[in-house]
Each structure stands twice: as C-alpha cells, then as structure tokens.
C-alpha cells in the first residue's frame, strides 16, 4: 500500500485471526500495535486535524500534551509532520525508549520533578498550565475529554466492517475510554446486538474500584474519571491485577507470537476466556494497542517482577464473577450497567 505522507499512513492496521485451543469461535486481534507508533496515532491525527480545521490550532502554533506513552508519540508524530512545535509534559516514570523516541522526533519533553497535590498527574497539569501561559496560541489536545478522541476510532470501526463484517463481541482496554467507546459507538448502529467488553486493572476507579495509585499497569486504568468514558456503551467489565496482566502479555507472545504491552496482554487474556466459553462461530475482536519493546524491563523484566513481588499476587486462570460494589484483587468480571461509576472530572480547564 502506498500513502501520500506519514499522517495518511496512520491506521489501516492488520486484523489477524488467532488460534485458541479447541475453540470454534472466530477470534481476531486488531493490531493497533502496527501503527507507526501505536493506537493513539489515530487520536493525535483526528484531534490535530480537527483543531487546524476549526482554527483552534493555527499554522505553526505549538501543541502541548501531558502523556508518557502512546498519546505523546502520536502527537510528536502528527504535530511534527504538520510543522508544529510539540511539547510533552511527563513525569519520571516515563520509560527510556519512549523518551528517546520523543526527543528524536523533535519534541521538547518537560519532566516534572515532584508529585503535586493530585499526585504525578496533578503536577503534570500544573506544569502544562504554566506552559500554556508561556506559549501564546498553544493548543492542548485534552484526550480525556476531547470528543475527537473517540471520534478517531470511526476509521478503526470502518476497517473492521470492511475486513470482517458483522461482529458479536468487541473487547478493549480502557484508559481514556476513547478507543473502546469510540469503536463501539461507530459499530452499534449497524450491529445493535454487539456485546462490548471492557478491560481495566485492579486498583483503577473507572468502574467503581478503589483507586490504588501504586498499580504497575500502564495505559489502562485511571485515578480520575475521563469524560470520554461512556459507561452506557459497555456490557461487561473485567479487572486483572498486575501479575495477571504482565503474565498475559507473556502468554500473548508465547502462544500467538505477538509482542505487546500489558494492555494487549490483558485484552488477550479476556479474548481467550471468551473464546473458550463462546458458542461456535461467535465473532470476537480484541484491540491490541501497542508493541512490547518499551516494557522490556517491566512486563518482561525479571528484576521488576522480583522487586515488586509480583509472584506473590494471586493469579487466576478464569475470572470470578462478582456483584457490583465488590472490591477485587484478582481477575474478576461484572455485568454493566449495574456497576455505578462515580468520579471527578479528568482534566482541569486551562484558562
């Protein structure tokens, strides 16, 4: 395939059928990890192009985003390609591979030194606010509340429709809610019976669990409620603990030869479970967001496993069904909409 530029090359990712034991369900992985950087390349393109169209982002104006992962890389990619100065606000937990990529792409990376009142996230937002004042005309994509984040997944939904047609079950991890809710929202009008399964982590408040900021999984989970998470679109939620998520990523590599991050692992674990329990021919699709390289010393690092005592955490081979309100410490699942979600706004307005 040939594309006019790198921005145009975003998306068009492979859909790969997975072989799962004796299951006669048809299980597919949407390899968002095959984007130039990762799944959020789509979000960065959608938000930045929309802001340029509406005049919120003018020619050559700076873009500032708070992120330490896939969104930062997407903004550095698209912003850089379209001639914008890119500033990324992050914290010391950023991994060295992402940091090297961002700097090499030409982004200026601002690393906050201390936690603020709202933890690392609060400190990052404080610095972002300062930079917005210092850089006149700067644009902040605000992936947690910008409706262009979920809207970016219209293209992913169209690719699924073209490649596969009707789907019975869609599985995705939830951080901002953009990918799962955006894809589900685009598919539901043509597939009203679509079952949407969300994957979160133990210690994330997105689906009513108590927040545990020390959780190790990155990408999914949140300590704040993002406006882009629409619980009404979701039928079922699974939570995995850090050991289960990391172990699942290793299984994904061993069993399917796909080297992904922990969110891809968690989605795979749920896909496998659904495949084993689904009726013959059920079509199940899981979204795998990014590659595993930057997790080489966490998900895939023995030292990290030892230092964090991950082997001490429970490891379930199937989920335990729980009632809404139950606090979980290992793989569990619950039907929505019974899970009441409460929370606070994800991002403060920058004035």
Residue 222 lies near ligand PLP (rule: CB under 6 A): no
Residue with Cβ nearer ligand PLP (27 or 44): 44
Q: Are strands 26-31 and 283-288 parallel, antiparallel or unpaired?
A: parallel
Q: Give the residue, chosen from 220, 274, 278, 285, that forms a contact with ligand PLP under the rule CB under 6 A.
A: 220
Q: Give the residue, chosen from 176, 217, 282, 298, that forms a contact with ligand PLP under the rule CB under 6 A.
A: 176
Residue with Cβ nearer ligand PLP (261 or 319): 261
**Prior bond to 43 cis, omega within 30?**
no
**Counting Cβ atoms within 10 Å, is residue 239 exposed (0-12), middle (13-18) or buried (19+)?**
buried
By beta-carbon distance, which residue lies closest to ligand PLP? 219
Q: Which stretch binds ligand PLP (CB under 6 A): 77-85, 126-134, 169-177, 204-212?
A: 169-177
What is the DSSP annotation of 312-338? GS---SSPEE--TT---SSSEEEESSS
What 3 state SS string does 281-301 have?
CCEEEEEECCECHHHCCCCCC
**Counting Cβ atoms within 10 Å, is residue 213 exposed (0-12), middle (13-18) or buried (19+)?**
exposed
- Return d(Cα 309, Cα 148) in angstroms, integer: 40
Residue 261 lies near ligand PLP (rule: CB under 6 A): yes
What is the DSSP annotation of 180-219? HHHHHHHHTTT-TT-EEEEEEETT-TTTTPPP-TT----S
Residue with Cβ nearer ligand PLP (72 or 138): 72
Q: Which stretch binds ligand PLP (CB under 6 A): 56-64, 73-81, 177-185, 341-349?
A: 177-185
Q: Give the residue, chosen from 177, 203, 286, 292, that forms a contact with ligand PLP under the rule CB under 6 A.
A: 177
Interacting residues with ligand PLP between 268 and 297 (CB under 6 A): 289-290
Q: Residue 100 has which token pair?
A: 């090297």
- Return d(Cα 66, Cα 64) in angstroms, integer: 7
Total of residues contacting ligand PLP (CB under 6 A):
16
Residue 65 lies near ligand PLP (rule: CB under 6 A): no
Q: Give the residue, chosen from 68, 70, 90, 183, that forms a contact with ligand PLP under the rule CB under 6 A.
A: 70
Q: Give the residue, chosen from 62, 69, 74, 319, that forms a contact with ligand PLP under the rule CB under 6 A.
A: 69
- State whether the Cα torsion 123-147-188-341 is positive or negative: positive
Q: Give the residue, chosen from 18, 20, 25, 71, that forms a contact with ligand PLP under the rule CB under 6 A.
A: 71
Residue 175 lies near ligand PLP (rule: CB under 6 A): yes
Residue 35 lies near ligand PLP (rule: CB under 6 A): no
Which residues of the chain form contacts with ligand PLP (CB under 6 A)? 69-71, 173-179, 219-220, 261, 263, 289-290
């Amino acid at each position: 395939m040939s594309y006019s530029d790198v921005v145009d090359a975003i998306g068009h990712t492979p859909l790969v059928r997975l072989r799962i034991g004796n299951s006669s369900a048809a299980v597919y992985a949407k390899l968002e990890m095959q984007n130039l950087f990762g799944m959020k390349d789509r979000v960065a393109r959608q938000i930045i192009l929309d802001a340029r169209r509406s005049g919120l982002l003018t020619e050559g104006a700076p873009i500032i985003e708070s992120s330490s992962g896939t969104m930062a890389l997407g903004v550095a990619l698209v912003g850089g390609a379209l001639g914008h100065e890119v500033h990324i606000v992050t914290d010391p937990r950023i991994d060295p591979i992402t940091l090297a990529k961002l700097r090499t792409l030409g982004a200026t990376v601002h690393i906050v030194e201390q936690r603020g009142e709202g933890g690392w996230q609060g400190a990052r937002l404080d610095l972002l606010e300062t930079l917005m004042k210092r850089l006149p005309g700067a644009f902040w994509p605000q992936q947690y509340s910008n409706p262009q984040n979920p809207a970016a997944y219209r293209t992913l939904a169209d690719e699924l429709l073209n490649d596969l047609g009707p789907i019975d079950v869609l599985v995705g991890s939830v951080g901002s809610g953009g990918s799962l809710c955006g894809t589900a929202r685009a598919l539901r009008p043509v597939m009203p019976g679509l079952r949407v399964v969300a994957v979160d982590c133990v210690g994330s408040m997105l689906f009513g669990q108590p927040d545990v900021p020390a959780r190790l999984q990155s990408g999914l989970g949140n300590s704040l409620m993002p406006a882009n998470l629409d619980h009404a679109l979701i039928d079922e939620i699974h939570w995995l603990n850090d050991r289960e998520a990391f172990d699942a990523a290793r299984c994904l590599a061993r069993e399917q030869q796909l080297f992904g991050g922990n969110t891809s692992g968690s989605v795979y674990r749920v896909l496998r479970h659904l495949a084993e329990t689904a009726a013959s021919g059920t079509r199940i699709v899981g979204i795998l967001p990014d590659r595993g390289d930057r997790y080489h010393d966490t998900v895939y690092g023995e030292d990290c496993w030892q230092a964090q005592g991950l082997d001490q955490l429970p490891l379930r081979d199937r989920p335990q069904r729980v009632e809404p309100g139950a606090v979980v410490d290992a793989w569990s699942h619950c039907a929505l909409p019974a899970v009441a979600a409460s929370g606070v706004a994800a991002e403060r307005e920058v004035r």
